Structure formats: C-alpha cells, structure tokens
Amino acid sequence: MQAREHDIAPLLLAWYDRHARTLPWRSPPNGKGGGQPPDPYRVWLSEVMLQQTTVAAVIPYFAAFTARWPDVASLAAAPEAEVMAAWAGLGYYSRARNLVRCAAAVAARGGFPQNEAELRALPGLGDYTAAAVAAIAFGQRAVVVDANVERVVARLFAIAQPLPPARKAIRAAADRITPDARAGDFAQAMMDLGATICTARAPRCLLCPLAELCAARSEGDPARYPVKLPKKVKPERRGTALWFERDGAVWLVARPPEGLLGGMRALPDDGWDARRDGAGVAGGEVLGTVRHTFTHFALTLEVRRMVGKPAPIVEGAGEWWPIARLGEAGLPTLFAKAARLVLA
C-alpha cells in the first residue's frame, strides 16, 4: 500500500492549520489556537445546506437564515411556510422540511445530543450529517465522508472498484486514517483538500500535502479516481404551468406537503412528476417553455397565460400574490424561471 496511514493525519492537519478556508460556520483550527468548537446549530445548519450544494451558493443563504433565526429555538418556532420560502432556490426541498422537524426536536430536548448515534436519531439527520456534527461541533471521533472526502480517499488508496459499490471500501479506509484527536479538524481538512487541491478535474498534486503518500499519483493518473459507472440517461418529462392574473396579482398554489417541491408555493400545473408527463392543458396563450433538471429527470415546462378563474384546474389551497412582491413568495427555481418568462 502506497499510503503510510499513520502519516496522513499529521501531514493533513499541519496543512489545514496553514490553509483552512474561512467559512462563516467554522471556528479556527485547533492547531492555530482555535478556542471553543463552533456552535452546533451553525454546524448542523451549514451541513444540511451543503448537501448537494456548493459552498458559494450556501453562504448567502446561511447568512440570511442565521440573521433571521440565530439559534435552534427561533428556527423551531418559525412557521414552516416562512422557512420553505427562505429556502427557495437552494433545491432539494425535503431538506427544509426536515430542518423544521429537527429544530423542533432539538428545542424540545433542550439542545443537540453530543454523540453520533443520538444525532442520527434526529429527524432528517443521516449518517453523514450526524458524523459531521459529532466531529466538528463536539470533537467526537466520527468518520465523515462527503463527496470531497470520497474522492481524496479513493485516490490515496487507488480504490479501483467503481462507485457506488466502492463506498464501503472508501469508508473503511477513511475510518483507518481518522485520528482520535482533532477529528473535526481532520474532517474539514479532508473537505478543504478535496475542494481546493484534490479536485475532480486537474488535481493540483504539486500543492498537495499528501502527494508522496498517494497511490493514484504514483500510478500517474489520479484523475481517473474515483472510478464511476456510466451515468444513466435521465428521462425527459413535459408539463404545463398556468399563469392566472388579476388586479396585479398571480394565483399561486401550495404543492402537496410530500413529494417533489413539497409544501412550496408554485404556479398551478397539469400534474407532471418524475414518473410521467403532465395531462396537458387546452386554451390560454402559450408564452414559451423553460427547462429544469432535477436529480432523476429533466423537465420541459410549457407556460400558458390563462383567462378566467383558476378553478377547476387548481386543486387545493391557493392565494392571489401581488406580482410586485413575487420575489418574496419563495418560488422554487423551476417556477421562478416560469415567472421570469412571463414577466419578461
């Protein structure tokens, strides 16, 4: 094995002490005289936001959330509709619903539990988030494996098995190199290394503190790791969004609480989802189409300006929302695209 496992953590932590990214949810590394671990609320909130989302996209949302809801108790007391609206644009909206549920559970018990097993029992906390909060906020030894860590470990040990089956071997290797002390700093150092040096394309091996220990680099082609199975072609779906307008307001509906974009305000539509096309709508004026790619499918959404009353095509609760304040409605990205098309 190329990697000398006992050398990895000291080298990486020394690098992290010099090069750690400054992020609003972090405390300075312990090796730089960092004081108390960061607030578990801020760690938890940032980790939930960062799932499937870039740091650059998360920073303004994190700032807005913590200004509006500075602690877990204030978030637990917030109306879910307000949290969902504040989340609009970050995507993966089940995260926002779980955020409210988890905040309520934490507030009810008087604070976050400090061990990984109890954290994992909270609503919406999977293995990764529970491990990250345990390690970063509470200094517990926990194995934290996100996409960046996955890539670094796959290269360090030249794990040739393709993803996703390789995740078991990657986690086992990450477990072997995670130190007992400074596990939170080690997790964040691995994340930073993957984000800034050991990048998916054109890794900057000459700057890497672990270059001499990296099996993939010694093979001469670190970018081939992690090995991935060919991507499946995403199915294409079609649907229609309806724009009903009167007296300077547009009719918005609340999507069902469960399922795609659950609980979000939206334009009424013709029932499309990930499994099928919409039923189609006759009448009105076709204004154009917008495209949006979800995790499991791509959607072409036709936008029609309708006349008359919204019923009966609109099921469930709805409201007339002032067009001048549409930016405050918290429309998910798909329907914000549709609204921009109309208003353009």
CA gap 58, 192 in Å, rounded: 16
Give me 59's structure tokens.
């920073």
Q: Which amino acid is at 285?
A: E
Q: Which of 108, 80, 104, 106 is nearest to 94 (CA)?
A: 80
Is 82 noted as a catalytic residue in this protein? no
**Exactly one of 47, 116, 150, 302 is catalytic; which is it?**
47
Element (H, E) at 253: strand 249-254
- Asked if 222 and 157 count as a contact pair (C-beta separation under 8 A), the reply is no
Element (H, E) at 252: strand 249-254
Q: Which of 133, 161, 159 is nearest to 146 (CA)?
A: 133
CA gap 201, 127 in Å, rounded: 27
Write out the catalytic residue numbers. 47
